[in-house]
C-alpha cells in the first residue's frame, strides 16, 4: 500500500487527537505547554508528520524528540499517542474526583467551624445559664439568705490567745517557736477540748504583729482535718500534696486535653506556701500520706510527673512547663494537732517537728471556763454548779456544751412557768439535771477520805492524756495451814501488776521478816482496771504491808512508782498526767520517785509533792502509827 492510501484516515485520527488534547488542556494552557516543549510551531504546521511530532513532544513531555514519523510508522505513533492520552485523561479524571471530595470536606469543616463560632458567640452573649440553672441558682441564694443563729460554740470560742484557759506555757511555747527567724514545724499534743485548734488559729495573727516575723501580712492559714484526708496511691487524686490530671483518663481542661497536655492540680501544701498548714487530728492520717508530706517538708516544693508531658511540645503553656520542670512551691510551716500519743505519728515526721504539749485542764480551770462562758452568754451561774461541771469533765469544750445545755434548759423552764424578765441563773440543781440527761459519770470513782484505812492504797495511773486514781485493796488472813497460804489477784489487772505483787512479797519478807506463805492474801484493783506497767508497785507494797501489819494508810495521799527488790522507788512516766488525776479526785498530796525530780512542784503550787527514793521514806508518808490515830 502507498502512504497516500492512508492520508484521509490518518488526518481524521490526527484531528481527533488534537481536539481531545485541546479539550483536556484548554487553548491557553496548551499553547503555554507546547511553547515550553518546542512543539507549538510543529502543531501549527499543515504537515501531518510535523503535527504528530508536536503531539509526541506535548503528550510525552519530551522536547528532545526530532525524528519525523514516516507514513509507515503512523499507526504505531497513533497507538503510542492514544495510550499516553488515555493515561492523561485517567489522571485528570482522578484529580478532578479528589478535588471534588476535598472541596466537599472543606465546605463541611467550614460549616462546622462556623456553627462552633456561632455557638461560642451565643455562649458569650447569653452565658451558660438556662431556665433550669437559673432556678437552682435562685433556690441556693434563698437557702443562703435563711440561716440559723451562730452556734454557741462559735460565739464562745476564744478570740485571743489570752482567753485560752490553763495553757499559758503551751501557748508561750507555740508563739515563741513561730516568732523565731527559723520557725520549725510543730505538733501539738494534748487531750481533746483544751484549746489546741484555737491556739493554732490565733497564733499566726499574733506572730504577724511581731517585728522581724517571717510571715507576711497576707500569709495564708490553710486548715484541714487529717481524719478526712484521702488520697489515691495511683496519684489520680491527692488534695493534700497535689496530682496531675492526664488528658485522656482524668479529664484535663478541654483546651489542654485536645492537645494531649497534662494539667497539674495544686494541693493544700501549695496553697499554704508562705504561711501555715494546720492539720487537725494529724495522728489519724494514713502513714503513707504522712511520709509523702515528709518529702514535701524536705524539698519545700512538689514535683509532678506524667507520661503525657512532652518538654519539646511548643503548645505546652508556660505555667505547666514551669510546674513540671521546677515543681510547685510549698514552703510553709506545718502545725499538726493530735489527741493521740506521739507513737501514733510517723517517726520520720515526728523527728522533724517540734513538740508542744497541752495540759489537761484542772477542776479550777474548768470552773473558770464555765464562768467566762456564762458571762458571755449573759447569765449567772452558781459556784456549786461550776464545781459540779468540773467533777464530770476535764475538757473545756465539753464543759461549755454542758453550760449551753443548762442555758437551754433554763430558757425552757422559764417559758413553761409563764416567762420572766429576770436574768437567767444556772444553779446546781439545774446542772445536775443536765448531767443526768447526758449520762455522764464522775471523772474518778476514787476520792480522798479524811480517815486512814487498813489495806487500802491509792495508786496513780494514766489513761490517754488524763491521770486516774486506782484503789488497791489488800486483805491478809492467817493461813488455815501454817506455811501453806494462798495468793489471789485480779486476772484483769495484767501481768505487770502480778509481777509487782511478787516483788512486793519478796521485799516485805526482806524488810520485816514476814513470810506471806503464812497468810491467805487477796489483792483487788477496784473497778477491774488494767495496769499497763510497773508504776503501781509502790501502792501494791503499801497495801500488802498495811494489811499484814494492821497499820492504817492515809487516804488523802496517792503514790506512783516502781518498787525494786532492793527497796528503791524507780522513776516512771506520765508524772504530769498523774498529778492532774490526783487533783481531779480532790487529793492534795502525791508521792513520786526521787528520780522524777522536784520540777513538778512549780507547775502545781496547790499540791504537796513529795519525792522519795526508798521504801523507808515511802512508809513515813503513809503509815499512821497508833499514837496518830486512825
The verdict on 65 and 93 lying in the same domain is yes
The verdict on 227 and 98 lying in the same domain is no
Residue 153 resides in a domain = no
- pLDDT for res 629: 43
Local confidence band at 278 (pLDDT 50, 70, 90 cut-offs): very high
The verdict on 399 and 323 lying in the same domain is no
Strand bridging mode 569-570 / 562-563:
antiparallel
Instruction: Find residue 568's DSSP bridge partners.
Output: 614
Q: The cell 508542744 sits on which residue?
A: 356
Q: 181: Cβ–Cβ under 8 A, 6 or more apart, which residues?
A: 212, 214
Query: Which CB contacts under 8 angstroms, 24+ apart, belong to 304-310?
Result: 304/242, 304/244, 304/264, 304/328, 305/244, 306/244, 306/246, 306/262, 307/246, 308/246, 308/247, 308/248, 308/260, 308/261, 308/262, 309/261, 309/262, 310/260
- pLDDT for res 236: 66
Residue 494 resides in a domain = yes
Residue 445 resides in a domain = no
Boundaries of domain holding 573: 453-628
Residue 528 resides in a domain = yes
The domain boundary residue, chosen from 380, 408, 437: 437
Condensed to tens digits (0 to 9), the pLDDT of residues 196-226 reads 999 999 999 999 989 889 999 999 999 999 8
The verdict on 345 and 236 lying in the same domain is yes
The domain boundary residue, chosen from 405, 437, 469: 437
The verdict on 131 and 171 lying in the same domain is no
- pLDDT for res 596: 81
> How high is the mean pLDDT of the chain?
82
How many domains in the chain? 4
266 close to 321: Cβ distance less than 8 angstroms: no
Asked whether residue 3 carries a pLDDT value surpassing 50, the answer given is no
Asked whether residue 32 carries a pLDDT value surpassing 70, the answer given is yes
Condensed to tens digits (0 to 9), the pLDDT of residues 133-158 reads 778 888 888 887 776 666 777 778 88
Residue 159 resides in a domain = no
The verdict on 393 and 503 lying in the same domain is no
CA atoms in the 13 A half-sphere facing the CB of 501? 22
The verdict on 554 and 590 lying in the same domain is yes
Q: How far is CA 49 from CA 46, 67, 71, 454, in A?
A: 9, 9, 8, 148
The verdict on 231 and 288 lying in the same domain is yes
- pLDDT for res 6: 46
- pLDDT for res 445: 59
The domain boundary residue, chosen from 116, 147, 178: 147
- Could you tell me the CATH number of the domain that includes residue 390? 1.10.8.60
Rounded average pLDDT over 408-420: 83
Q: How far is CA 579 from CA 167, 274, 440, 604, in A?
A: 16, 41, 23, 8
Condensed to tens digits (0 to 9), the pLDDT of residues 526-557 reads 766 667 667 888 888 888 888 888 889 988 88
Where are the extended beta strands (E) located within 505-550?
519-525
Out of 177, 196, 570, 578, the active site residue is 578
The verdict on 481 and 611 lying in the same domain is yes
DSSP letter at 604? -
- Ranked by mean pLDDT, the top range of 386-390, 500-504, 584-588 is 386-390
pTM for the full predicted model: 0.68
How far is residue 207 CA from its own chain's centroid? 24
Residue 523 resides in a domain = yes
- Could you tell me the CATH number of the domain that includes residue 235? 3.40.50.300
Residue 448 resides in a domain = no
How far is residue 224 CA from its own chain's centroid? 6
Condensed to tens digits (0 to 9), the pLDDT of residues 92-131 reads 888 888 888 888 888 888 888 788 777 776 666 655 666 7
Q: How far is CA 338 from CA 100, 225, 473, in A?
A: 74, 10, 36
- pLDDT for res 122: 63
Nearest to 339 by CA among 203, 154, 189, 183: 189
Q: Which three cell numbers stand for residue 408?
A: 437551754
What are the DSSP calls for 124-152, one per residue?
A: HHH-S--HHHHHHHHHHHHHHH---PPPH
Out of 535, 564, 602, 613, the active site residue is 535
Condensed to tens digits (0 to 9), the pLDDT of residues 230-262 reads 776 666 678 888 888 776 665 556 556 666 778
Asked whether residue 295 carries a pLDDT value surpassing 80, the answer given is yes
The verdict on 431 and 461 lying in the same domain is no
Length of the chain (residues): 630
Residue 442 resides in a domain = no
The verdict on 270 and 381 lying in the same domain is no
Q: How much of the chain exceeds pLDDT 70, in percent?
A: 87
- Could you tell me the CATH number of the domain that includes residue 594? 3.30.230.10
578 is catalytic: yes
The verdict on 335 and 391 lying in the same domain is no
Amino acid at each position: 500500500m502507498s502512504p497516500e492510501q492512508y492520508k484521509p484516515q490518518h488526518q481524521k485520527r490526527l484531528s481527533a487527537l488534537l481536539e481531545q488534547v485541546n479539550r483536556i488542556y484548554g487553548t491557553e494552557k496548551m499553547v503555554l505547554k507546547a511553547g515550553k516543549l518546542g512543539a507549538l510551531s510543529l502543531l501549527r504546521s499543515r504537515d501531518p508528520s510535523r503535527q504528530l511530532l508536536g503531539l509526541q513532544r506535548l503528550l510525552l513531555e519530551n522536547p528532545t524528540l526530532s525524528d519525523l514519523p514516516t507514513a509507515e510508522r503512523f499507526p504505531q505513533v497513533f497507538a503510542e499517542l492514544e495510550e499516553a492520552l488515555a493515561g492523561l485523561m485517567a489522571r485528570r479524571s482522578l484529580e478532578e474526583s479528589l478535588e471534588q471530595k476535598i472541596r466537599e470536606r472543606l465546605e463541611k469543616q467550614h460549616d462546622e467551624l462556623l456553627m462552633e463560632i456561632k455557638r461560642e458567640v451565643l455562649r458569650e452573649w447569653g452565658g451558660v445559664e438556662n431556665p433550669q440553672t437559673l432556678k437552682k441558682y435562685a433556690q441556693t441564694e434563698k437557702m443562703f439568705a435563711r440561716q440559723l443563729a451562730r452556734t454557741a460554740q462559735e460565739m464562745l470560742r476564744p478570740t485571743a490567745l489570752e482567753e485560752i484557759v490553763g495553757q499559758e506555757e503551751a501557748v508561750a511555747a507555740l508563739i515563741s517557736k513561730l516568732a523565731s527567724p527559723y520557725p520549725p514545724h510543730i505538733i501539738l499534743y494534748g487531750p481533746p477540748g483544751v484549746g489546741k485548734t484555737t491556739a493554732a488559729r490565733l497564733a499566726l495573727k499574733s506572730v504577724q504583729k511581731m517585728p522581724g516575723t517571717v510571715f507576711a501580712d497576707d500569709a495564708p492559714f490553710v486548715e484541714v482535718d487529717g481524719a478526712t484526708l484521702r488520697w489515691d496511691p495511683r496519684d489520680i487524686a491527692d488534695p493534700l500534696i497535689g496530682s496531675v490530671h492526664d488528658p485522656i483518663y482524668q479529664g484535663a481542661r478541654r483546651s489542654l486535653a485536645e492537645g494531649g497536655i497534662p494539667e497539674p492540680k495544686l494541693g493544700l501544701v501549695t496553697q499554704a506556701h508562705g504561711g501555715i498548714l494546720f492539720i487537725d487530728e494529724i495522728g489519724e492520717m494514713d502513714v503513707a500520706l504522712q511520709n509523702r508530706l515528709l518529702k514535701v517538708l524536705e524539698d519545700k516544693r512538689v514535683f509532678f510527673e506524667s507520661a503525657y508531658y512532652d518538654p519539646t511540645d511548643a503548645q505546652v503553656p508556660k505555667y505547666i512547663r514551669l510546674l513540671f520542670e521546677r515543681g510547685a512551691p510549698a514552703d510553709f510551716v506545718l502545725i499538726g494537732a493530735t489527741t493521740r500519743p506521739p507513737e501514733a505519728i510517723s517517726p520520720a515526721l515526728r523527728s522533724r517537728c517540734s513538740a508542744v504539749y497541752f495540759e489537761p485542764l484542772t477542776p479550777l480551770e474548768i470552773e473558770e471556763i464555765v464562768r467566762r462562758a456564762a458571762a458571755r452568754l449573759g447569765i449567772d451561774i452558781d459556784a456549786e454548779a461550776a464545781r459540779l461541771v468540773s467533777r464530770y469533765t476535764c475538757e473545756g469544750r465539753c464543759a461549755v456544751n454542758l453550760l449551753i445545755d443548762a442555758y437551754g434548759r433554763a430558757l425552757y423552764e422559764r417559758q413553761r412557768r409563764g416567762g420572766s424578765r429576770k436574768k437567767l441563773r444556772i444553779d446546781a440543781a439545774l446542772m445536775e439535771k443536765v448531767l443526768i440527761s447526758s449520762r455522764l459519770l464522775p471523772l474518778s470513782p476514787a476520792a480522798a477520805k479524811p480517815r486512814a484505812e487498813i489495806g487500802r492504797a491509792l495508786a496513780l495511773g494514766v489513761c490517754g492524756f488524763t491521770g486516774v486514781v486506782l484503789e488497791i485493796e489488800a486483805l491478809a488472813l492467817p493461813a488455815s495451814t501454817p506455811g501453806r497460804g494462798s495468793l489471789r489477784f485480779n486476772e484483769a489487772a495484767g501481768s505487770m501488776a502480778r509481777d509487782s505483787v511478787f516483788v512486793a512479797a519478796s521485799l516485805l519478807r526482806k524488810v520485816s521478816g514476814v513470810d506471806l506463805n503464812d497468810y491467805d492474801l487477796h489483792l483487788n484493783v477496784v473497778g477491774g482496771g488494767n495496769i499497763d506497767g510497773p508504776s503501781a508497785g509502790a501502792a501494791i507494797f503499801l497495801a500488802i504491808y498495811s494489811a499484814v501489819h494492821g497499820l492504817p494508810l492515809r487516804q488523802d495521799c496517792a503514790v506512783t512508782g516502781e518498787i525494786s527488790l532492793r527497796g528503791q522507788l524507780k522513776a516512771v512516766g506520765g508524772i504530769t498526767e498523774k498529778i492532774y488525776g490526783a487533783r481531779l479526785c480532790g487529793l492534795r498530796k502525791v508521792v513520786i520517785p526521787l528520780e522524777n525530780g522536784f520540777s513538778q512542784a512549780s507547775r502545781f503550787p496547790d499540791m504537796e509533792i513529795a519525792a522519795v527514793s526508798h521504801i523507808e521514806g515511802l512508809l513515813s508518808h503513809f503509815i499512821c502509827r497508833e499514837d496518830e490515830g486512825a
